[in-house]
Amino acid sequence: MTEQNTRLGILLMVVTTLIFASQDGISRHLAGEYNVFMVVMIRYWFFAAFVIVVGARKAGGLRAAAATRQPVLQAIRGLLLATEVCVMVGGFVLLGLVESHAIFASYPLLIAALSGPILGERVGWRRWSAIAVGFVGVLVILQPGFRVFSPAALVPLAAALMFALYGLLTRYVARKDSAATSFFWTGTVGALAATAYGLWFWEPMTPVDWAWMAALCVTGALGHFTLIKCYEVAEANAVQPFAYLQLVFASAVGMSVFGETLRVNVAVGTAIVIGAGLFTLWRERSVRKT
């Protein structure tokens, strides 16, 4: 891996987080006007078309892309991500982008905590300490003892848990399936699941919002494309810390477009969570090198 490729990978990750933050802003607008399930369903239709096109262009075509020895686990992954997207977009409407992303930033800590029982990986005392500190940060954000606790705060936390499980299952199925196969199953199964419940909540949209929906679909496909390219040119451990920039960009969208505010406890708690998350990423990288 060359220094130039690592720098390109970091640049692509920054671009990816900016695209996904824009997508989150569009999702919040549309989900505030229409049913969340319908919005996610249409988004997944485009996503499925994108992964089918990508799969068809690979060696062996769609047959090779869909070939898996773990169909049940792959289907569970797809269902988990589709559900997580619905829950997280719902969180945007209930809490806003700033607080939703602040709480969701805990997912790397959940991955570290669950990697032992699910993947059989050893988690040492340093990472357990970082996980504990990170969840102190989550408590600082939620402030359960200082104000009336809002059950809505559990929505992005549930999304973070589902995304962590999705990430762990992705690492598990990677032992036997290629990344292209996992990507294909993620889009197609997710689209089937989103359609199964989304069609029941269909609502007519205005021409302007159809334009926003088109933008949502395009940003989704573009974000996945730049993310794929990012991981093609650089190691995941080198670029993963920059994924936290999505929190920064999404918060900027929330405050500038939707008039959200950044409370002191959210800023402090988020800094704690990100610091703990970066430490667990660094520690995991160090352990794998030894």
- Asked whether the beta carbons of 270 and 137 are under 8 A apart, the reply is yes
**pLDDT digits 0-9 by tens, 33-67:** 999 999 999 999 999 999 999 888 887 888 888 88
Q: Is 282 within a domain?
A: no
Query: What mean pLDDT comes out for the span 180-184?
Result: 88
**Going by C-beta distance under 8 Å and a sequence separation of 6 or more, which residues neighbour residue 179?**
231
Residue 192's nearest CA partner among 89, 47, 35 is 47
Q: Is 284 within a domain?
A: no
Alpha carbon dihedral 186, 191, 192, 197, in 10-degree steps, equals 130
Residue 106 and residue 191: Cα distance in Å, rounded?
26
How many domains are contained in the chain? 1
Q: Is 61 within a domain?
A: yes
Lowest mean pLDDT among 18-22, 148-152, 163-167: 148-152
pLDDT at 4 > cutoff 60: no
Q: Is 176 within a domain?
A: yes
Tell me what pLDDT residue 2 has: 45
Q: Is 136 within a domain?
A: no
- Six-digit token pair at 144? 């359960």
Average pLDDT, the chain: 86
**pLDDT digits 0-9 by tens, 194-249:** 999 999 999 999 999 999 999 999 998 898 888 888 877 777 667 778 888 888 89
Tell me what pLDDT residue 149 has: 58
Tell me what pLDDT residue 128 has: 78
pTM of the predicted structure, to 2 decimals: 0.87
Tell me what pLDDT residue 290 has: 59
Torsion sign across C-alpha atoms 143, 243, 190, 23: positive
Tell me what pLDDT residue 37 has: 95
**pLDDT digits 0-9 by tens, 81-102:** 999 999 999 999 998 999 999 8
Please give, one letter per residue, the 3-state secondary structure of 129-197: HHHHHHHHHHHHHHCCCCCCCCHHHHHHHHHHHHHHHHHHHHHHHCCCCCHHHHHHHHHHHHHHHHHHH
**pLDDT digits 0-9 by tens, 270-289:** 888 888 878 877 776 666 66
- Asked whether the beta carbons of 233 and 69 are under 8 A apart, the reply is no
- Six-digit token pair at 19? 């695209």
- Asked whether the beta carbons of 91 and 159 are under 8 A apart, the reply is yes
Q: Is 108 within a domain?
A: yes
Tell me what pLDDT residue 28 has: 95
Q: Is 283 within a domain?
A: no
CA distances from 117 to 63, 113, 121, 184, 289 (A): 33, 8, 8, 27, 22
- Asked whether the beta carbons of 153 and 143 are under 8 A apart, the reply is no
- Six-digit token pair at 228? 């794929």
More confident residue, 25 or 124: 25
Q: Is 288 within a domain?
A: no
Q: Which domain holds residue 217?
A: 3-125+149-258
